[in-house]
Structure 1
Amino acid sequence: MANPSRRSFPATGLATGLAVGAASGLAACQPVQTVKAASDAGGTTVEVEGVPIHLARSGQGRPLVLIHGASGNLNDMTFRLGPALADRFEVIAVDRPGHGRSGIPAGGDVPITTQARLIRGALARIGIDRALVVGHSYGGSVALAWAVDAPGSVSALVLLGAPSQVWEGGLGLTNDLLASAVIGPALASALPHLVTEGFATRTLATVFAPQPAPPGYLAHLDLGLVLQPASLRENARQLVGLKEEIRPLVPAYPRLAMPIELVHGDADRTVGLDIHSRPFARQVPQAELVVLPGVGHMLHQVATAEVAARIRATARRTAG
């Protein structure tokens, strides 16, 4: 295994952590209680290039898009961050393709550039052609792809603990297996029946470390949505492909002209501050880096006020 100090985007996250633990339970033939099925939810679904994209809107003001990370859905963004911003912005939280209630194109190929294009198309369908774009973790990589491919549609960019550079190592055997066309479908179908909500809560503690997960977060996220077999497989495929999808973006970073804010916890053990956000801040002259002392990867949940303040400050740096 690679040295953790050099692995800048290790195979952590709720779905991956649950998969590892559930696979251990499967190997031991331990019966466990299944999680509840995904509940119904509000929001709007629009079709873009034949793909359903689900989004939720709140607030009034300048449009602001929130893009969730791996192993999640838009509920991650509507738990704390969206409500904290809805007093000044029209907040649009989106289910990335393959997650929550959004679909994927025929053939299942959805690199970050395609995800960005589909989300951009969904905004166009609701009458928004330019927005402040905020992405957390993997969602930040999607936001970067959006900014590189269609800079005129991004008024400002905020990256929260986001991978932006090529890193050493891979993302773990579990993601490789789930992404596999041979064993992936069977493994993804079995996992939801092997995960208890208690085990999910313990896994969540690892994802949020060193801070505790906020009460009510797991119920709001909707574990049933996270553990949909199709979402588990798509999550793994997207993670496995991310490093090579970032590679061609890196040379374009210095050409980005919109205001850019990077917010990163210095206790983040999922996406390395020194391997991602610090190099990006050197590559892009106008990028501003804010480091949150002692804060881990889920900064938008555990330091919501600070993150929301930085987003508002970034909005003030642009007129559109």
Structure 2
Amino acid sequence: MRTGVALGALALLASYLVVRSKSAQVERENPPRGKFVEVDGIRLHYLERGSGPVLVLLHGNGVFANDFEYSGLMTQLSERYRVIAFDRPGYGYSERPRSTLWTPDAQARLLHRALQGIGVDSAIVLGHSWGTMVALAMGLQVPDFVRGLVLLSGYYYPTLRLDVPLAAQPAIPIIGDVMRYTVSPLVSRMLWPLVCKHMFAPLQVSERFRRMPPWMALRPGQLRASAAEAALMVPAAMSLSKRLDQLRVPVQIISGTQDKVVKPASHSERLHKDIQGHGQSSELHLQPGVGHMVHYAHPEQVVVAIDAIAAQVGEPVAIRSEQADALARASESGV
């Protein structure tokens, strides 16, 4: 008995040392490359590229803002938009205090204040996977700020999720804390190839996605955020779906027909019908033979959807004013 306990304790200690070493190493090799903004005492990290109308990108569960760089979206979009991609609370290099229940609504409020803090007065908002719920929440909360939504592979209705009980375990107080500093990251690293295969199926895992360092996603803090959001999926979707009749911004919805993570018929297709049923603007784009990671499979289709929203809502007032001022200055100088 005592021998077993001692061996178990030694195994946990060894796991802890490995996890701490791997986490420190991956952070040294991948330091923050963006900017920081502090809101309500919470420090958020974000990437910013380009100029023009503001486009905000919100990543899904398990990854971080760099996902949009790896997919190639940020490079393409920064040619004509001011693209801002946040590490959502608890991911990448953003903080996630345990004193707050980080529902989509809570995250939307925080990110809206963060955007105001860096001088943004309106934006098109894109979300992928779990990030679509934060994007929807922002569209519901501040429709005068959100000019339109682009939703990729989203989970919008409270459907059965058999993966939640296992995925949520690292968020359990005390037991989960021990797990995510010892066993959970090591097990997750072994399962990483299978998880990636599942997300991209039926396509092969993109070579661009392989640039993502697994241990950045498997650090204890990010595992807690991922687990907490897995536990929140169903109640969050339940809350948001009840308010869809209040949505007043145009929406572009994109989903892969072969998505094995979130079934398009139960979510993207249903959302499109519900939004149209409430008399609002929605367009649905189903990508044949594509899985959950649509922004890797067809980034150009995502760009087309964003451009469609931008064309529909026109130039932001601030940009029109800047252009008018520039023309006036040019006229005064005789140019």
State whether TM-score is above 0.5: yes
User: Given the superposition, is the C-alpha separation of residues 167 and 43 from structure 1 closer, same or farther in structure 2, using an over 3 Å criterion?
Assistant: same
- Post-superposition CA distance 1:81-112 (Å, at most 9, x none): 11121111010000000111010135142111
Corresponding residue for residue 200 of structure 2: 208
1:311 is paired with a residue whose SS is helix
Corresponding residue for residue 117 of structure 1: 109
- Post-superposition CA distance 1:144-195 (Å, at most 9, x none): 1111111111001010011111212453332232121131111111147626
> Within the alignment, does 1:252 sit opposite 2:243 as a pair?
yes
Match runs of 1:64-83 below 5 Å:
64-79=55-70, 80-83=72-75
Separation in structure 2 between the aligned mates of residue 105 and residue 112 of structure 1, nearest angstrom: 15
Corresponding residue for residue 84 of structure 2: 92
Aligned partner of 2:232 among 235, 241, 257? 241
- Post-superposition CA distance 1:208-233 (Å, at most 9, x none): 111122224233x3323211101101
Separation in structure 1 between the aligned mates of residue 107 and residue 242 of structure 2, nearest angstrom: 20
Aligned partner of 1:157 among 149, 152, 168? 149
Separation in structure 1 between the aligned mates of residue 177 and residue 167 of structure 2, nearest angstrom: 12
Corresponding residue for residue 288 of structure 1: 283
Asked if structure 2 preserves the Cα contact closer than 8 Å seen for 1:59 and 1:88, the reply is yes
> Within the alignment, does 1:47 sit opposite 2:42 as a pair?
no
1:64 is paired with a residue whose SS is strand
Aligned partner of 2:54 among 59, 63, 79? 63
> Within the alignment, does 1:37 sit opposite 2:29 as a pair?
no
Separation in structure 2 between the aligned mates of residue 101 and residue 117 of structure 1, nearest angstrom: 19
> Within the alignment, does 1:309 sit opposite 2:304 as a pair?
yes
Separation in structure 2 between the aligned mates of residue 84 and residue 252 of structure 1, nearest angstrom: 33
Match runs of 1:97-176 below 5 Å:
97-176=89-168
* Aligned partner letter, 1:287: S
Alpha-carbon shift at residue 249 of structure 1 (Å): 1.9
Asked if structure 2 preserves the Cα contact closer than 8 Å seen for 1:138 and 1:163, the reply is yes
Separation in structure 1 between the aligned mates of residue 50 and residue 122 of structure 2, nearest angstrom: 17
Asked if structure 1 preserves the Cα contact closer than 8 Å seen for 2:54 and 2:123, the reply is yes
- Post-superposition CA distance 1:58-100 (Å, at most 9, x none): 0111000000000010011122111121111010000000111
Alpha-carbon shift at residue 238 of structure 1 (Å): 1.4
Matched residue count: 293
Separation in structure 1 between the aligned mates of residue 80 and residue 170 of structure 2, nearest angstrom: 41
Asked if structure 1 preserves the Cα contact closer than 8 Å seen for 2:140 and 2:248, the reply is no
- Post-superposition CA distance 1:35-55 (Å, at most 9, x none): 542221311111011111110
Separation in structure 2 between the aligned mates of residue 235 and residue 263 of structure 1, nearest angstrom: 23
* Aligned partner letter, 1:168: L
Asked if structure 1 preserves the Cα contact closer than 8 Å seen for 2:185 and 2:220, the reply is no
1:52 is paired with a residue whose SS is strand
Corresponding residue for residue 258 of structure 2: 267
Alpha-carbon shift at residue 123 of structure 1 (Å): 0.8
Corresponding residue for residue 216 of structure 2: 225
Contiguous gaps of at least 5 residues in structure 1: 1-25
Separation in structure 2 between the aligned mates of residue 176 and residue 61 of structure 1, nearest angstrom: 39
User: Given the superposition, is the C-alpha separation of residues 181 and 106 from structure 1 closer, same or farther in structure 2, using an over 3 Å criterion?
Assistant: closer
Asked if structure 1 preserves the Cα contact closer than 8 Å seen for 2:189 and 2:215, the reply is no
Q: What is the RMSD of the two structures over their aligned residues, measured on CA atoms?
A: 2.5
Runs of 4 or more, structure 1, over 4 Å off, are 33-36, 195-199
Separation in structure 2 between the aligned mates of residue 216 and residue 289 of structure 1, nearest angstrom: 26
Q: So what's the TM-score if we normalise by structure 1?
A: 0.85
Give the greater-gyration-radius structure (CA): 2
Separation in structure 2 between the aligned mates of residue 193 and residue 288 of structure 1, nearest angstrom: 39
User: Given the superposition, is the C-alpha separation of residues 137 and 105 from structure 1 closer, same or farther in structure 2, using an over 3 Å criterion?
Assistant: same
* Aligned partner letter, 1:293: P
Alpha-carbon shift at residue 202 of structure 1 (Å): 4.7
Identity of aligned residues (%): 30
